[in-house]
Amino acid sequence: MIRRKTAMHEGDRSAPLLDVEGLNVHLGHGSQRTRILNDVSFSVAPGTTLGIVGESGSGKSTLAKTIVGIHAPHSGAIRFRGEDIGHRSGRRRRGIMREVQMIPQDPYSSLDPRRTIAQTLAEAIDPARVRVGRHRERVDELLALVQLDRDAAARYPREFSGGQRQRIAIARALAVDPELVIADEITSALDLSTQAEVLKLFADLKKRLGITVLFVSHNLAVVQEVSDSVLVLLHGETVEHRSAEEIFRDPRAPYTRLLLDSVPGGPGFSLDA
Ligand X SMILES: Nc1ncnc2c1ncn2[C@@H]1O[C@H](COP(=O)(O)OP(=O)(O)OP(=O)(O)O)[C@@H](O)[C@H]1O
**Phi, psi torsion values for 89, nearest 5 degrees:** -140, 180
- Contacts of residues 71-74 at CB distance under 8 Å and 24 or more positions apart, as own/partner, are 71/25, 71/27, 72/25, 73/23, 73/24, 73/25, 74/24, 74/25, 74/26, 74/35
What minimum distance in Å lies between the beta carbon of 72 and ligand X? 12
Among 38, 48, 49, 58, binds ligand X (CB under 6 A): 58
Rounded CA-CA distance 143/151 in Å is 9
| Nearest residue (CB) to ligand X, 15 versus 258 | 258
Residue ranges in 17-36 that form contacts with ligand X under rule CB under 6 A: 27-28, 36
Residue ranges in 201-230 that form contacts with ligand X under rule CB under 6 A: 218
Give CA 72 to chain center in angstroms. Answer: 19
> Interface with ligand X by CB under 6 A: which range of 38-46, 49-57, 82-90, 126-134?
49-57
> Interface with ligand X by CB under 6 A: which range of 5-13, 52-60, 160-168, 199-207?
52-60
Evaluated on CA atoms 140, 95, 3, 67, the torsion sign reads negative
- Residue 106 DSSP one-character state: -
Among 46, 47, 51, 54, binds ligand X (CB under 6 A): 54
> Interface with ligand X by CB under 6 A: which range of 53-61, 72-80, 89-97, 197-205?
53-61
Strands (E) located in 87-131 = 100-103
Contact indicator for 137, 89 with CB cutoff of 8 Å: no
> Interface with ligand X by CB under 6 A: which range of 54-62, 145-153, 174-182, 263-271?
54-62
Among 19, 46, 50, 60, binds ligand X (CB under 6 A): 60
Tell me how many residues contact ligand X (CB under 6 A). 12
Q: Strand 75-80 to strand 83-84: parallel, antiparallel, or no bridges (unpaired)?
A: antiparallel
Rounded CA-CA distance 195/163 in Å is 7
> Interface with ligand X by CB under 6 A: which range of 56-64, 195-203, 237-245, 253-261?
56-64
Among 38, 48, 49, 62, binds ligand X (CB under 6 A): 62
Our finding on whether 73 is near ligand X (CB under 6 A) is: no
Residues that bind ligand X (CB under 6 A): 27-28, 36, 54, 56-62, 218
